[in-house]
Every structure is written in structure tokens, then in C-alpha cells.
């Protein structure tokens, strides 16, 4: 899969050790849900602040961004570009932006939870529908 930014391996090397397993688990969850999605890494550097997200990669279908993976120093996140439109019966999605929503991952097992996997799958299904 082509990447527009830095190699994923370089981002993982720069990811704080404490959250690296969680980031890897999030990436694995996305790749399992959409193995043919385009992986596009960000051209970013680790943040200098604990409150800034280090965006690592986003996954797209037909040029449309679907899910992104980012991390902070103490937790990681999956962010959904059309999260407002996702039916989140689980209550996991947070945020109040115009379109996107996110969920927090505090441990690798969080990315493997059935509700998280379901959200990721639904996000890729939603990407095939016209935007509302």
C-alpha cells in the first residue's frame, strides 16, 4: 500500500514505548476490518506536548479517508472521519466536531473489543455511501 508520509515503521519507532503496543493493536484492527484500504501515513513528528496527538496513519477507500490512528503519551485513539454518521449504540465515540468522532484506547485489548471492531467495520461500510 502506498504511503504519502513517512514509513509506518518510522512512526512506530517514534511512538512512545508505553503506547506502542496499543497503536499496533489499533492498526491491526483496522487492517483486519479493511485489508484493501489504502494506508496513508502522516508527515508528522512526535508532539512536544502531552495534550497534542501524534497522528500516525489514516486508512482510505477510493480516496476517501475513513479511519485514522493517533496517539498521545498515555493513550491512543481511533478517529472516524464520518463519525457523526456512525450508529454508535456502544457509546464509545466521543467528540462534537462537525463530522469526525474518536474513541480512546488505553490498552492493546481495547482495540480488539468487539464493539470497537464493529465500529471500524461500519465506518468502512459507511465510506461506500454518499455523505449526508
C-beta atoms surrounding 10 within 10 Å? 12
For the stretch 38-59, pLDDT in tens is 999 998 888 778 888 999 999 9
Mean pLDDT, the chain, as a whole number?
A: 90
What are the start-end ranges of the E strands in 18-130?
A: 38-41, 54-61, 64-71, 76-80, 101-105
Q: Is the pLDDT of residue 2 over 90?
A: no
Q: Which of 52, 129, 58 is nearest to 87 (CA)?
A: 129
The CATH classification number of 8-127 equals 3.90.1150
Q: How far is CA 109 from CA 1, 51, 92, 125, 126, in A?
A: 26, 23, 15, 24, 25
Q: How remote is the C-alpha of 70 from its chain's centroid?
A: 6
For the stretch 64-94, pLDDT in tens is 999 999 999 999 999 999 999 997 788 899 9
Higher confidence at residue 30 or residue 16? 30
Q: Which residues contact 57 (CB under 8 A, 6 or more apart)?
A: 3, 8, 11, 27, 39, 40, 41, 42, 68, 69
Q: What angle do CA 104, 55, 82 make, to 5 degrees?
A: 65
C-beta atoms surrounding 60 within 10 Å? 19
- Domain boundaries in the chain? 8-127
Q: Which three cell numbers stand for residue 85?
A: 454518521
Amino acid at each position: 500500500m502506498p504511503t504519502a508520509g513517512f514509513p509506518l515503521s518510522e512512526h512506530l519507532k517514534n511512538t512512545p514505548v508505553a503506547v506502542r503496543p496499543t497503536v499496533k493493536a489499533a492498526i491491526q484492527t483496522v487492517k483486519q476490518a479493511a485489508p484493501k484500504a489504502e494506508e496513508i501515513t502522516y508527515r508528522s513528528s512526535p508532539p512536544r506536548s502531552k495534550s497534542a496527538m501524534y497522528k500516525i496513519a489514516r486508512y482510505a477507500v477510493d480516496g476517501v479517508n475513513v479511519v485514522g490512528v493517533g496517539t498521545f503519551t498515555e493513550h491512543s485513539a481511533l478517529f472516524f472521519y464520518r463519525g457523526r454518521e456512525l450508529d454508535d449504540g456502544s457509546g464509545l465515540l466521543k467528540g462534537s466536531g462537525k463530522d469526525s468522532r474518536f474513541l480512546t484506547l488505553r490498552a492493546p485489548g481495547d482495540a480488539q473489543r468487539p464493539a470497537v471492531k464493529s465500529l471500524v467495520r461500519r465506518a468502512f461500510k459507511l465510506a461506500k455511501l454518499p455523505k449526508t
